[in-house]
Amino acid sequence: MNQSQLFIPTLKETPSDAQMPSHKLMLRAGLVRQIAAGVFSWLPYGYIMLKRVQAVINEEMNAIGGQEFLLPALNPKDIWEQTNRVEAMGDVMFHIKNRDNLVLAPTHEEIIAYHASQSIKSYKDLPQIWYQIQNKFRNEPRPKSGVMRGRQFIMKDSYSLDSNTEGLDESYDKHYSAYKKIFDRLGINYFVVGASSGAMGGNKSQEFMVENEFGEDTCAVNYESGYAANIEVAVSDIIPNQRVEEELEFEEFETPNSKTIEELSKNHNINIENCAKSVVYIIDSKPVLILMRGTDILNETKLQSIFETNNTRPATEEEIENFFSAKPGSIGPVNVDEKVKIYADLLIKDTNDLVSGANKTGYHFKNIDLKRDCNIEEYYDFRTVLEGEANIVDGKPLKIVNAIELGHIFKLGTKYSEALGAKILDENGKEKPIVMGSYGIGVERALACIIEQNYDDNGLKWGKNFAPFHVHILGLSYNKSENVKEHCDKLKENLEANALSVLLDDRKERPGFKFKDADLLGIPLQITVGDRGLENNEIEIKLRINNEKNKISFDDAVDEVIKYYNN
RNA sequence: CGGGGUGUGGCGCAGUCCGGUUAGCGCACUUGGUUUGGGACCAAGGGGCCGCAGGUUCAAAUCCUGCCACCCCGACCA
């Protein structure tokens, strides 16, 4: 390919809207252009790379028996109503104004289940893995970071259909290993975390994560031990408070200047781990007191999965004063109105030496015995793990990192097949719903992650297993020097004869301009052909990965390139 | 949806507070010339309903009102 014929509008300056390195570089290197918030056009150079990613995904999906579909983005709303997801999706789903019975599909469980319901009738038809690479539409409240979070984006979504949960386990494992192969081949550093299934339904799910400061998820990881979990479900190895032998009556003491746990601990010389804090939440409109170690932070996602609802919020100061007749800072688990249910964190289970608010402004109790003095409904893990805490595998410290969710695999179960009547007859002639799994990869996200992990100040750095072209030939004075032109054309021809793809910079540009553009485009090997070198029959070969330059004989060029790519 | 910010040629910006030459600068673009191994120089050019609508005024990029778009933080995120 001659560069003069390829539309790659590179930018010298970074558009001011971009924050994330991959976003800046995608714009600068002419991969994408933004059309609206969360909506992008893929330009030729970017689309080449996007198709590379898709090809890897296709190969690995086909390798586990996946069959590629192309499902419509326009969906009958009726199908979505059968699973109650028009309501569940709410504002996330795009609706069509002048054709009210259609919606834009944000995902395709329904359509898959619909096709299965029509055509899959027997356990003998299963298992099936159906997938597609196609546009998804989600009315994101706030698109951001370029293609990382868009309103229209390309997703590889696959769905497994099995006759029982054992089959689902197998299909799930196949996807797990296929995903690992895909991300390995793409050269992405990632980790896998157990995740919360959220409103998707189903029981098991894992996310493929990429550590990145701009990531929207938070994870607790220790790479050496292999422990990694979304902060929403992460746990750590912490010694719980123990019951003390001596059983003391709880007693009230005055704490006028201790509104926070730190003040309480300091002013009254109390071990901070014995100071319990009372967090009041309104869960499904009912007040709940969560008692936990004073320094711990309540994890709202854990709270929501424990109570199986998304309808949670912190109580207002006014509500707290209503329920406890005391100001926040002085409330506690003793003598609580019976309308308020009390739950406590596992770390303080059954302890008897806690200090907590007395439900009387400016007073606390000490020697609280949770078994004796309080009416604890149940103990759960409510806390958010913190940086440096011991991981549960080998006790080494956890790191808290931001991460990008690249892929997500779910064991769905029968929610969608039941709703849409996708049923089979099993070996005994008994009717059963198909057991489904659902698996996604953000294709553009994957490309952005590759860029996030492979760039420098001058531009992109594609890995050699994953490059838009194998070689970038920079023909200096290509348009002026017949000698340069001949050598460039010959080299290109020889490389292409060896199945190596070539981008030849044949443009009427000055050398410096071509060098800068080449670094920006990031093709792994740059070969500079100029009159100066050709005097000695030499060309210069540069590895973009480390920017090392070497002069070699023109005649060795093809062999050098082959050697590089075979290595 | 709440908070903050920004809209001026393809890109990056100044000018707006305090209204008043013909709306400016750098990059990019066109033409000519000189150049040519890390984003050249000189000269001459082209390109703007200053986000949109309304208002105030003799006069609006600039002041007022409303709207729209984009970015950031938060909420939300199968």
Is the CB of residue A529 less than 8 Å from the CB of residue A476? yes
From residue A159, give the alpha-carbon distance in Å to each of A86, A172, A262, A434: 20, 10, 51, 11
DSSP sequence for A2-55: BGGGS-----SSPPTT--SHHHHHHHHTTSEEEEETTEEEEPHHHHHHHHHHHH
pTM of the model: 0.92
- Closest among A261, A240, A287, A271 to A357, alpha carbons compared: A261
State the number of CA atoms in the 13 A half-sphere of A419 facing the CB: 19
Q: Which residue is nearest to nucleotide B75 (CA to C1')?
A: A141
Residues constituting chain A:
567
CA of A169 to C1' of B69 (A): 48
Q: Walk along chain A (567 residues) and give the pLDDT tens digit of each residue.
A: 999 999 999 999 998 889 999 999 999 999 999 999 999 999 999 999 999 999 999 999 999 999 999 999 999 999 999 999 999 898 999 999 899 999 999 999 999 999 999 999 999 999 999 999 999 999 999 999 999 999 999 999 999 999 999 999 999 999 999 999 999 999 999 999 987 654 444 568 899 999 999 999 999 999 999 999 999 889 999 999 999 988 888 889 998 888 788 888 888 888 888 899 999 998 888 899 999 998 899 998 888 888 887 778 888 888 888 888 888 888 999 988 888 999 999 999 999 999 999 999 889 999 999 999 999 999 999 999 999 999 999 999 999 999 999 999 999 999 999 999 999 999 999 999 999 999 999 999 999 999 999 999 999 999 999 999 999 999 999 999 999 999 999 999 999 999 999 999 999 999 999 999 999 999 999 999 999 999 999 999 999 999 999 999 999 999 999 999 998
CA of A250 to C1' of B21 (A): 85
Token pair of A213 as six digits: 């400061």
Nucleotides of B strand lying within 7 Å of any protein CB atom: 1-2, 11-13, 26-28, 35-40, 69-78
CA of A332 to C1' of B54 (A): 59
Q: Which residue is nearest to nucleotide B26 (CA to C1')?
A: A13
Q: Which residue is nearest to nucleotide B40 (CA to C1')?
A: A510
Is the CB of residue A365 less than 8 Å from the CB of residue A334? yes
Nucleotide with the nearest C1' to A440 CA: B78
